[in-house]
Structure 1
Amino acid sequence: MNKYQNISNDGFKLNYCVKGTGKPILVIGSSVYYPHLFSEHLYDTFQFIFLDHRGFVRPPRTLEPKDYILDKILDDIEIARQALGLTNFIILGHSGHAFMALEYAKKYPDHVQKVVLLNSAPTNSEERQRQSVAFFNETASPERKKQFEKDIALLESDIMKDPERRFVHMCIRMGAQSLYDYTFDAAYMWEDVYTNMPIIDHLWGEAFGELNLIQSLAGFNKPIFIGLGRYDYLVAPVSLWGSVDDTYESVKKVIFEYSGHNPMFEEPQSFDKELIKWIGESK
């Protein structure tokens, strides 16, 4: 059982939990969901701090559009960093949270030593989403497609029964696009995860579609680890990152060949080895 504390900013109570000891790695996202994904082996080497953002906490008031903007979330992270006394730390963002991690490091670079970006496409634009759907339809195995069709058919009824957890239901029912083992049921990971849908809708539907991580790398010289899953159809194909090659001296890109959207969970030994090696070697 994880022990939770919270940091308040602008009325939002952002929960966090700490696992392990060593060099601090701040993981942005849900403090309930993300501890499921990383191996105990990593907690022997690093101190992981799992921090909520506004999209995963109950609103303190009726929200206005100004409460949703990405800059507010970046400021929340900075308030949390100050409260936690973090200096010379690594910030990690997975999936949509990769946009948050890199934008935070650009806005508040002083105490960020390195950045880890996992399983994100360079942008969440509608055009890129269409590309990912097309790639799945053209390259996924018949068995994977059949499992996806079976699962996604249940999404509408899930949402009708529990509309406030629409994001969670979608993540669960899209398992055949997000997991190497497309028969694996990841529903347990999402238990007790609260989702603030107006904020999530804005971030994933608008803010992340206006950003491009490859463009954001320009002029950013801190070490960056980019981890991708070969079978991560949610943000496929990995060739979207093809322009990030050896000419990006500060970037380490690793493709995990037997993973979908969560290589830290699906290939823990390979993931741990690559991450530990990179943290030790990159300056």
Structure 2
Amino acid sequence: MLWTWLLLALLPFLLLKSAFMITILSLVGIYALAALGLNLIMGYSGQISIGHAAFMSIGAYTSTLLVMNFNVPLVFAMLIGGLIAFAFGILIGFPALRLSGFYLAIATMGFVVAIEQIFGYFEHITGGHAGIRNIPFPHLWNSDVEKYLLVLSVLFVSYVISERLINSRTGRAWMAIRENETAAAVMGVNNAWFKVLAFAVGSMFAGLAGALYAHVIGYIAPSDFGIAKSLDLLAVSVIGGMASVDGPFYGALIYVAMPFLFSRSNVPLSIIFGALLIFVVLFMPLGISYYIRMFRMNYLNALLVHLKKSRRPYGMFVQTPAGRIHYIKYGNGNIPIVLVHGNFASARFFEPLIKKIPQEKYTVYALDLPNFGFSDELPGDVSIEKYVDALEKFVQTLGIRNFILLGHSLGGAVAMGYAVRNPKNLIKLILVDPAPVFGMPRYDESTYKIIDVYRKNPELIKRALMMNAPTYDDEKFFERITADALRMAKKAFIGNAKALAEYNYSDKAKNVEIPVVVIYGDKDVILDYISMQKTAAAFPNGKLIVLKDIGHSPVIESPEEVIRHFSARV
């Protein structure tokens, strides 16, 4: 999160009198950056590397020599060091394509030993095994703080690049290769290309880390980047958590902090670190980051949910036999329209649509279904039929007659349920990317447990809502509807998913003779074209409209197209 990075940026200003602590923080960032590169190679693409420190040395010596001998600006020297490490990553990556498992581990171990000996041999250039001292770091006011901020800046950019890669086609290809190279190749993944790319990018991060190390510490020697350092980086990655973007940071924090915690004990650090590694492998095999994430999701996020959920109703209330229902009303036209939202939504979800509806022609009613938003919670188990009952009570209480009913997603199932019961009270039924007429597939229990995780994770809900509307980019809108989604009844998270698999209106739909329009965005990641086609065909006067390059939420992505079908003939 952005606030975490802001907090890290403020830390040195709270520790201005402790140059030692600021240097420790800089080292944490450096090792986190190097381990991040190793995580891309091992955690995500599944290749074993025990020579990662060699790329740190390449970046360190390249940057140092460019700054000291050629007066190259520090930032450019670091970037060049990273790029040369990137090139060496490619050179090592191609021969490694023929190797795997222990053979690849031995090959990379040989590489780190060779690089250490090469830098030690060319004494007139690299200072030999004695190393290079007094490596400069240009500064204006406080070199320790500036070093830390430089490390943090490079680490932040690297984390952003990593997240973008991991969440893209490249990341999916890496993980496919990690799980099964043959299956990945069958699915069209170019294994050679993506394996070399992982090695190159991971090596570049290590090169940048090595360059930062040289200028932060001010001294380097070949022995600083030997096989022992490679094994340390491997331990950092394992302890923090493989295939985790946060893992390298937690692992680096332990690796750097532990020598100072046990500095006054007589127990060798290697024994302590080895014992910790064994403990993590045996009892925390997914790494520290996984358990921290679980703790945050199960406990800390509960507080975040409480703080983020909507506090003030934005509409009005009506007391019905199904409980108090919150709704918004817009316009004063002669044709009533009732809007029924989907899962993780509320009446406010229809705001982009409502703003474009001609208010002189239509009167719009958008409600929070019970269990959602500011409406009351329904007693007992969740079911589509109970939502239909509540919709009926809402319509009857307000005296709405001869209206257009629009349902989106889960609301589409509720709208269909109302239509099969009360077809004579409707002018038209509009189903926008609705749950199919025959219901959604039933999931296994593990999937329901994953769905329940959303209950305590606002970011997951927001991401899901944004993914369902890929062409709509109003960040504040998604913040508002996420805050409404956090008001959902606890039982509704799993209950809604189960309820969507327990209804079937296929037979009853034959008796609904009013015009029915099914609007479907062809980029919908939840519903498929065939199920929408069958849904439209289930109604005697049904028609399917396909919107090009639109996702699951045409009501906010293409409201004008939806409104056009209010009065269009079927």
Q: Which residue of 2 aligns with 1:250?
A: 541
Q: 1:240-262 CA deviation, whole Å, 9 max, x = no partner?
A: 23346779551121111021011
Q: CA deviation at 1:113?
A: 2.4
Task: After TM superposition, list the pairs within 5 Å mapping 1:87-98 onto structure 2.
Answer: 87-98=401-412
| 1:162-219 deviation digits (Å, cap 9, x = unpaired) | x6455x65442225641333877452241541211313432x2222112245555233
Q: Provide the aligned C-alpha RMSD in A.
A: 3.3
> Which residue identity does 2:549 align to in structure 1?
Y
CA deviation after TM superposition for structure 1 residue 238, in Å: 1.5
1:231 is aligned, of 494, 504, 523, to: 523
Please identify which structure carries the higher strand content.
Answer: 1
> Which is richer in helix?
2
SS of 1:209's partner is coil
Match of 2:325 in 1: 14
Out of 176, 195, 204, which is 2:488 matched to? Answer: 195
Aligned-pair distance for 1:226?
Answer: 0.6
- Residue of structure 2 equivalent to 1:172: 462
Q: 1:175 to 1:88 in 2, by over 3 A?
A: closer
Q: Answer whether contact 1:91 1:116 (CA < 8 A) is retained.
A: yes
Q: Partner amino acid for 2:509?
A: L
Change (3 A) 1:8 1:249: same
**Secondary structure at the residue paired with 2:423?**
coil
Q: 1:99 to 1:250 in 2, by over 3 A?
A: same
Equivalent of residue 556 in structure 2, options 258, 265, 278: 265
- Give the secondary-structure state (helix, strand or coil) at the position aligned to 2:517: strand
Cα pair distance change 1:253/1:171, threshold 3 Å = farther
> Could you say which structure has the greater relative contact order, defined with CA pairs below 8 angstroms and 6 or more residues apart?
1
Change in CA separation of 1:84 and 1:230 when aligned onto 2, cut-off 3 Å: same
**1:196–1:180 Cα change, 3 Å:** same
Q: Give the stretch that moved more between structures: 30-39 or 11-20.
A: 30-39
Please list the CA deviations of residues 222-244 of structure 1 after superposition, one character each: whole Å capped at 9, or x if unmatched: 21111110111122x21223346
Query: Secondary structure in 2 aligned to 1:173?
Result: helix
* Aligned residue in 2 for 1:40: 355
- CA distance in 2 between counterparts of 1:169 and 1:213 reads 34
Compared with structure 1, are the counterparts of its residues 211 and 169 closer, same or farther at alpha carbon in structure 2 (3 Å cutoff)? farther
Superimposed CA distance per residue, residues 114-168 of structure 1 (whole angstroms, 9 cap, x where no aligned partner):
21111124122137xxxxxxxxxxxxxxxxxxxxxxxxxxxx9xx87xx6455x6
Q: Secondary structure at the match of 1:55?
A: coil
Change (3 A) 1:58 1:10: farther
Instruction: Indicate whether 1:115 and 2:429 are aligned.
Output: yes
The residue number in structure 2 matching 1:218 is 510
- For the residue of structure 2 that corresponds to 1:37, the secondary structure is helix
More off after superposition, 34-43 vs 95-104: 34-43
Whether the aligned pair in 2 keeps the contact of 1:19 and 1:43 (CA below 8 Å) is no
Distance in 1 separating the partners of 2:473 and 2:483: 22
Aligned residue pair count? 242
CA shift, 1:31, in A, is 4.8
Task: Evaluate the alpha carbon distance shift between residue 257 and residue 212 of structure 1 in structure 2; reply closer, same or farther with a 3 A threshold.
Answer: farther
1:177/1:234 contact within 8 Å kept? no
Identify the residue that residue 136 of structure 1 maps to in structure 2: none
SS of structure 1 residue aligned to 2:440: coil
More deviation in 188-197 or 12-21?
188-197
What residue in structure 2 maps to residue 53 of structure 1? 369
Residue 404 of structure 2 contacts residue 426 of structure 2 at CA under 8 Å; is this kept in 1?
yes
1:135 maps to which residue?
none
Matched-pair contact (CA < 8 Å) for 2:509–2:538: no
Residues 16 and 50, structure 1, Cα contact 8 Å, conserved in 2: yes
Gapped runs of 5+ residues in structure 1? 128-155
Give how far 1:37 is off.
3.4
Relative to the length of structure 1, the TM-score reads 0.71
Aligned sequence identity (%): 19
Q: In structure 2, the residue corresponding to 1:42 is in which secondary structure? A: coil
Q: Which stretches in structure 2 are left out of the alignment for 5+ residues?
A: 1-311, 444-449
AA aligned to 1:228 is: Y
Q: What is the DSSP-based 3-state SS (H/G/I as helix, E as strand, rest coil) of the residue aligned with 1:87? A: coil
Distance 1:255-1:213 versus aligned 2 partners, 3 A rule: farther
Is 1:14–1:57's contact at 8 Å kept on the other side of the alignment? no
> Partner residue of 1:27?
339
Give me the whole-angstrom Cα distance separating, in 1, the residues matched to 2:471 and 2:373: 30
The TM-score with structure 2 as length reference comes to 0.38
Q: Which one-letter code corresponds to 1:34 in the other structure?
A: F
Partner AA of 1:28 in structure 2: V
SS in 2 for 1:104: helix
